[in-house]
Amino acid sequence: ETGVTQTPRHLVMGMTNKKSLKCEQHLGHNAMYWYKQSAKKPLELMFVYSLEERVENNSVPSRFSPECPNSSHLFLHLHTLQPEDSALYLCASSPGLAVSYNEQFFGPGTRLTVL
Amino acid sequence: GQQVMQIPQYQHVQEGEDFTTYCNSSTTLSNIQWYKQRPGGHPVFLIQLVKSGEVKKQKRLTFQFGEAKKNSSLHITATQTTDVGTYFCAGRLTGGGNKLTFGTGTQLKVEL
């Protein structure tokens, strides 16, 4: 599937680095999401954007900063991360505005390791 | 906090055996969605249920939404090796905002 793409696929960074994750959807969807998937934990919703406006911020630490410049692109800017932030970061998109009732299409994820 | 729990956490079956995963919420759900994540892959949407007591089938998969809309199940008949993966339920919790809350997942392994 190429509907939702994420780059990079793998990222290793130190705690003092600044990096960004990129997500692009080619499906014409109106909503985009960032999720964190850690081992032995359920998928954790981080941010939701609907029509480029942030509609959900799930008590995420400020070292994670999202950006949605248009309905097709979503970024997650990372700075001064902690080792416990190591996880698979998944981007998703969905059609329509009822974000909890629409099927979500996930990208392949970015595997992040913080040293 | 509000949680959506799934049992079992892991299940090993022989090919051809049936499999069921159960999804239980602490509060009422407006809807329930099911996703499958293959090893090394990303979640892929399977189905959505919205009505109390609703049952839907997809070939060997049967999905059920409880009458009280607080639980759901996914049953696979005669498992195949292609069924390997982790199955997640997800739903909108009453009082949980306009977002999906994912369950803890059930990892299925199928042996020949």
Per-residue pLDDT of A73-89, as tens digits, reads 999 999 999 999 999 99
Instruction: Give the Cα separation of A83 and A105 in Å (integer).
Output: 28
pLDDT computed for residue B2 by the predictor: 59
Instruction: Give the Cα separation of B20 and B90 in Å (integer).
Output: 16
Among A43, A55, A108, beta carbon nearest to B102: A43
CB contact under 8 A, B92 and A101: yes
CB contact under 8 A, A104 and B4: no
Q: What's the one-letter identity of residue A98?
A: A
Instruction: Give the Cα separation of A58 and A42 in Å (integer).
Output: 14
pLDDT computed for residue B1 by the predictor: 59
Which pair of structure tokens corresponds to residue A99?
Answer: 């974000």
Cβ–Cβ < 8 Å for A93, A5:
no
- Which residues from A are below 8 Å from B90, CB to CB? 43
Q: Which residue has the higher pLDDT, A54 or B111?
A: B111
* pLDDT-derived band at B105, boundaries 50, 70, 90: very high
- Which residues from A are below 8 Å from B100, CB to CB? 45, 99-100, 104
Residue B29 β-bridge partners:
B93
> Looking at chain A from residue 22 to 51, which residues have their Cβ under 8 Å from any Cβ of chain B?
41-45, 48
Cβ–Cβ < 8 Å for B44, B37:
yes
CB contact under 8 A, B43 and A43: yes
Tens digits of per-residue pLDDT, A27-63?
Answer: 999 999 999 999 878 899 999 998 888 887 778 999 9
CB contact under 8 A, A104 and B45: yes
> Looking at chain A from residue 46 to 75, which residues have their Cβ under 8 Å from any Cβ of chain B?
48, 55-56, 58
Instruction: Give the Cα separation of A105 and B66 in Å (integer).
Output: 25
Instruction: Name which of A96-110, B9-23, B35-49 the model is least confident about.
Output: A96-110
Residue whose entry in the numeric block shows the structure tokens 């059609």: A95
Residue A24 β-bridge partners:
A5, A73
